[in-house]
Structure 1
Amino acid sequence: MEDHELTEEERDQMLDQAFKKMNIKRRHLSRQELEKEIINYLSKKKPCSLATCGMDGVPRISVVDYINEGLTIYIFSEGGEKFKNIKENNKVAIGMGTGSKAAKTRGVNIWGIAEVFTKDTPEFAHGMKLFSPILKDMQQAIGGAPIEVPKGMRMIRVTPTKMVYCHNSKGISNAHWKAE
Structure 2
Amino acid sequence: MNNKMESQELKQHIKDFLIEHKQGSLATTINNIPRSSPVQYFTDDNMNLYIVSAGGEKFNAIKDNPNVCLLVNSDYIDYKKIKGVQVFGKASTSLDNEDILEEARRYSPEPYIIDNNKTSLNAIKIQPEEIVYLDSLRDGDRTKQILKNNTVTMKADGNIGIH
TM-score of the two chains, using structure 1 as the length reference: 0.71
Change (3 A) 1:150 1:91: same
Query: How big is the alpha-carbon RMSD for the aligned residues of Structure 1 and Structure 2?
Result: 2.6
TM-score of the two chains, using structure 2 as the length reference: 0.77
Alignment of 1:110-149 (within 5 A): 110-118=87-95, 121-131=98-108, 133-134=109-110, 148-149=116-117
Mapped to 2, the partners of 1:51 and 1:63 lie a distance apart of 9
Contact 2:94/2:123 (CA < 8 Å) preserved in 1? yes
4+ residue segments displaced more than 4 Å: 101-104
1:112-131: CA deviations, max 9, x gaps?
A: 00010159833311211222
1:166 pairs with 2:142: no
Q: Secondary structure at the match of 2:20?
A: coil
Whose strand fraction is larger, Structure 1's or Structure 2's?
A: 2
Q: Secondary structure at the match of 2:125?
A: strand
Change (3 A) 1:166 1:45: same
1:61 pairs with 2:67: no
Provide the aligned length of Structure 1 versus Structure 2. 146
- Alignment correspondent of 1:19: none
State which structure, 1 or 2, has the greater radius of gyration over its C-alpha atoms. 1
Mapped to 2, the partners of 1:61 and 1:122 lie a distance apart of 25
Instruction: Give the partner amino acid of 2:122.
Output: R
Q: Percent identity?
A: 26
1:176 pairs with 2:152: no
Q: Secondary structure at the match of 1:85?
A: helix
Structure 1 position 60, deviation (Å): 1.2
Whose helix fraction is larger, Structure 1's or Structure 2's?
A: 1
Q: Secondary structure at the match of 1:43?
A: helix
Mapped to 2, the partners of 1:164 and 1:120 lie a distance apart of 28
Question: 2:18 aligned to 8, 22, 42, which one?
Answer: 42
